[in-house]
């Protein structure tokens, strides 16, 4: 089925064509129709499969076909990170171009005066993180009494212990009669129970549940001691000079340390994490998107907020503390039907984390076997100008 065969508002059909949307992905094909019918939906699909458009298209279509004179917030998209709010806002604006539907992304870390002015002028769709939203609700600038659709994107993260109270509090501000949509790449039994306590007889959609890692991603793992990781990172970067890298570390301090280590060997990187102010984070992401920078070092705050189609290689410099974060990290590559590569570095201390990840994804991660002489050779790269081939690290055994 093609998008032009749906009964969308003409402007939406035109915009989808201009954006290169020809046929819906699996999640879009299975989610758009029930959402248009007003059903509650609980959707689980791999990262990079087009989940945002799956709910953006029917929401904008509904608002186009059911316009009201008084502009009130009729759709709320709740997300865990500022970066995700910004990027979802871009998707909604692209799909809804020239429809008259007004979309606004709200988040902390920036002055609120301009945000308040926009809210006063009236919006149809609010995309927001919980903190700033509740702040402005308490100040009387956000009215959700006319809400028709609630979307929890990255629903597993939105319903974990960190956000659960926020979601519970939100229920007091929105109508009982509403449509509720949950979208995520991963979900646990505990989170599923919480989700079912909020939705009403939802349509459950699950794409490739037996393998949460996108089939377009070639992901592998190498056993590397913690103090040696920087040498292997240097090596893989130097051997792929034209590639765009997204490198994940566990903490903000680690991000800066790894960046400085790369700088010492003349590899230029940028970092993004919670200590960066919002303007700087937006600037770095824009530079990464337009290829002004090719190597970005990030913490998990960005694993769910970086939707950049041409990331060639993801490196898990540190394994994540939460197994499901592995799926979100490696899912930053191999997007939009493109092939991607992910390499994880695992030290002895991280083996318990590796076991949790493999249990979560239901399979073993391919192991790169590194011969001892090649390993020793790699950690001496700083004193040797000889060029190496990362693929030679894989033994023939």
For the segment 128-167, what is each residue's pLDDT rounded down to a tens digit? 998 899 999 999 999 999 999 999 988 777 776 567 778 8
pLDDT attached to residue 161: 55
Mean pLDDT over each residue of the chain, to the nearest integer: 88
Q: How far is CA 90 from CA 100, 121, 127, 253, 380, in A?
A: 15, 20, 10, 31, 45
What digits encode the pLDDT tens for the residues 334-376? Answer: 876 788 999 999 999 999 999 999 998 889 999 999 988 889 8
pLDDT attached to residue 390: 52
* Residue 397 pLDDT class (50, 70, 90 cuts): very low
What digits encode the pLDDT tens for the residues 280-331? Answer: 888 888 899 889 999 999 988 665 656 777 899 999 999 999 888 898 899 8
| 3-206 and 217-393 agree in CATH topology | yes
Q: How far apart are CA 83 and CA 63, in angstroms?
A: 25
Question: For residues 378 and 77, which has the higher predicted lDDT (pLDDT)?
Answer: 77
Domain boundaries, the chain: 3-206, 217-393
Q: How far is CA 367 from CA 67, 308, 336, 344, in A?
A: 55, 27, 26, 10
3-state helix, strand, coil in the chain (%, to 5): 45, 15, 40
- pTM score, two decimals? 0.75
67 phi/psi in degrees, rounded to 5: -75, 150
The answer to whether 94 and 105 have CB atoms below 8 angstroms apart is: no
pLDDT attached to residue 317: 97
What digits encode the pLDDT tens for the residues 196-248? Answer: 888 888 899 988 656 678 788 899 999 999 999 999 999 999 999 999 999 99
What digits encode the pLDDT tens for the residues 44-83? Answer: 887 778 899 999 999 999 999 998 888 899 999 999 888 8
pLDDT attached to residue 304: 62
Q: Average of pLDDT values for 81-92?
A: 91
CATH of domain 3-206: 3.40.50.300
Q: Average of pLDDT values for 265-280?
A: 88
pLDDT attached to residue 314: 95
Strands 41-44 and 203-206: parallel
* Residue 385 pLDDT class (50, 70, 90 cuts): very low
pLDDT attached to residue 4: 87
CATH topology of domain 217-393: Rossmann fold (3.40.50)
pLDDT exceeds 70 at position 37: yes
């Amino acid at each position: 089925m093609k998008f032009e065969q749906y009964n969308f508002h003409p402007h939406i059909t035109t915009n989808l064509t201009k954006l290169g949307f020809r046929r819906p992905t699996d999640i879009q094909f299975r989610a758009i129709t029930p959402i248009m019918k007003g059903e509650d939906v609980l959707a689980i699909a791999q990262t990079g499969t087009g989940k945002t458009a799956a709910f953006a298209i029917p929401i904008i279509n509904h608002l186009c076909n059911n316009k009201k004179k008084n502009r009130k917030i009729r759709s709320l998209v709740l997300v865990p990170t500022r970066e995700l709010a910004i990027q979802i806002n871009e998707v909604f604006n692209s799909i809804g171009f020239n429809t008259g539907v007004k979309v606004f992304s709200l988040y902390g870390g920036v002055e609120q005066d301009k945000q308040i002015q926009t809210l006063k002028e009236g919006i149809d769709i609010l995309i927001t993180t919980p903190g700033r939203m509740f702040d402005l609700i308490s100040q009387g600038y956000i009215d959700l009494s006319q809400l028709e659709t609630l979307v929890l994107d990255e629903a597993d993260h939105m319903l974990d212990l960190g956000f659960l109270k926020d979601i519970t509090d939100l229920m007091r501000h929105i109508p009982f009669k509403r449509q509720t949509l949950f979208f995520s790449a991963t979900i646990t039994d505990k989170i599923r129970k919480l989700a079912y306590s909020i939705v009403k007889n939802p349509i459950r959609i699950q794409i490739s549940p037996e393998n949460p890692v996108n089939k377009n991603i070639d992901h592998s793992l190498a056993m590397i001691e913690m103090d040696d990781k920087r040498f292997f990172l240097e090596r893989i970067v130097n051997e792929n000079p034209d590639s765009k890298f997204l490198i994940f570390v566990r903490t903000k301090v680690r991000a800066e340390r790894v960046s400085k280590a790369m700088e010492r060997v003349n590899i230029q990187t940028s970092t993004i994490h919670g200590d960066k102010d919002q303007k700087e984070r937006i600037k770095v992401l824009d530079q990464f998107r337009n290829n002004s920078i090719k190597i970005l070092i990030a913490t998990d705050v960005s694993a769910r907020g970086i939707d950049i189609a041409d990331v060639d290689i993801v490196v898990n410099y540190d394994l994540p503390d939460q197994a499901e974060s592995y799926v979100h990290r490696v899912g930053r590559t191999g997007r939009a039907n493109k092939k991607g590569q992910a390499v994880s570095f695992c030290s002895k201390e991280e083996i318990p984390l590796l076991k949790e990840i493999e249990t979560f994804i239901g399979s073993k991660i391919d192991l790169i076997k590194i011969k001892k002489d090649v390993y020793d050779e790699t950690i001496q790269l700083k004193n040797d100008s000889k060029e190496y081939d990362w693929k030679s690290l894989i033994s023939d055994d």
